[in-house]
Structure 1
């Protein structure tokens, strides 16, 4: 696998927001979202080649039980399932951040959290969404809508009402593009009690362009 970076920080979003975690960022992504904030990891060659044993040994060195597997898009990598299985066998709780365009069914281990995006219209990638993934999400998982426009908010509401996923849903503003207060107003207007507003903590703690945080 090509690993873009491994670092120790807090989860900035999702169910474990604010908790310490070791991040494994794999290089390469099959989407090109308009608001992507990890453009440095889009190229599949943007990193160092490591085998699963090397990755797990480096993660062990941080002494943290939480692991967040991210990208790029981690699920497009051959060996991703083996990596997750190996991490869980070594006692790690793995949060898998995925873009919603790859099948998630083979990653539903008891020790995993799936944090799956649904790409709203402003992303430019909504046509790539695998809608069947919505039916696989469990109560322990998270469904994230990154929203930058009113149309995005309306689409998120439509998806939640139509598919009624079991996972907790999050509305996360594109940083600097939409006011969080307007998202709260939309949630109140439409009585979205099964949804949470979530800001990307790491962008408020550190420089929004900072890496390895």
Structure 2
């Protein structure tokens, strides 16, 4: 099986429970959504340049970096035909911590049989994304403490909706939950004020580190 890889690089993780730690990124081509704030639209174009890489090619590259954290991202990595083959190969190496960034529209239950499964960082697309109707709500029932739900908020209405979803599915009791502001688009103080007012214990506000360290449009970071 060969996969369409548009980028592979080492950097720090800019988001989530491992923010600030070194990570190997493998970015795949293509996505089934078109979010208003997407910062990797270039990777989703039909004519994007990519390299065909086998599971073994990807694994060898990862090992060559000597970095243990691995993030599979996109686009939408779970759209890659045969992705389970890659996940099963990576799962055999227990020195690796494998994370998949997924957009919330792809059912996750088919990946539960993997013996050493990856952690999923799953988005819930809020109203500002224009993609909320594409969300697979059944995914909320299969999340574990190793997984993460990320709410990308562009407006305070998004923040309010994120609280409704968190409360409805009791997400803070079963997994990691992050509110991630669209960079430069929303007042961070207002988000903190909302969290304080609503006693949102166990919920994390995250700022995208890579957009603070480097230019927000820079690739390969």
1:99, 1:119 within 8 Å by CA — same for their partners in 2? yes
1:41, 1:71 within 8 Å by CA — same for their partners in 2? yes
What's the counterpart of residue 212 of structure 1? 220
CA distance in 2, matches of 1:176, 1:197: 15
What's the counterpart of residue 18 of structure 1? 20
Deviation at 1:186, TM superposition (A): 0.8
1:9, 1:21 within 8 Å by CA — same for their partners in 2? yes
Q: String of CA shifts for 1:162-187, please: whole Å, max 9, x gaps.
A: 11121111001000100211110111
CA distance in 2, matches of 1:81, 1:13: 24
> What is the TM-score of this pair, normalised by structure 2?
0.93
Deviation at 1:140, TM superposition (A): 1.2
1:93, 1:111 within 8 Å by CA — same for their partners in 2? no
Q: In 2 relative to 1, CA 59–45 (structure 1 residues): closer, same or farther, beyond 3 Å? A: farther
> What is the TM-score of this pair, normalised by structure 1?
0.96
What's the counterpart of residue 155 of structure 1? 161
What's the counterpart of residue 195 of structure 1? 203
Q: String of CA shifts for 1:70-99, please: whole Å, max 9, x gaps.
A: 000001111111111111213321011000
In the alignment, which of 105, 112, 116 is matched to residue 109 of structure 2? 105
- Matched residue pairs, number? 213
What's the counterpart of residue 116 of structure 1? 122
Deviation at 1:45, TM superposition (A): 5.1
CA distance in 2, matches of 1:66, 1:44: 29
In the alignment, which of 24, 49, 53 is matched to residue 50 of structure 1? 53
3-state SS of paired residue (2:199): coil
2:148, 2:177 within 8 Å by CA — same for their partners in 1? yes
1:88, 1:111 within 8 Å by CA — same for their partners in 2? yes
In the alignment, which of 84, 88, 108 is matched to residue 85 of structure 1? 88
What's the counterpart of residue 132 of structure 1? 138
Query: For the aligned residues, what is the CA RMSD?
Result: 1.2
Ranges of 4+ aligned residues in structure 1 off by more than 6 Å:
none
Q: For structure 2, which runs of at least 5 residues remain unmatched after alignment? A: none
What's the counterpart of residue 41 of structure 1? 43
3-state SS of paired residue (1:50): strand
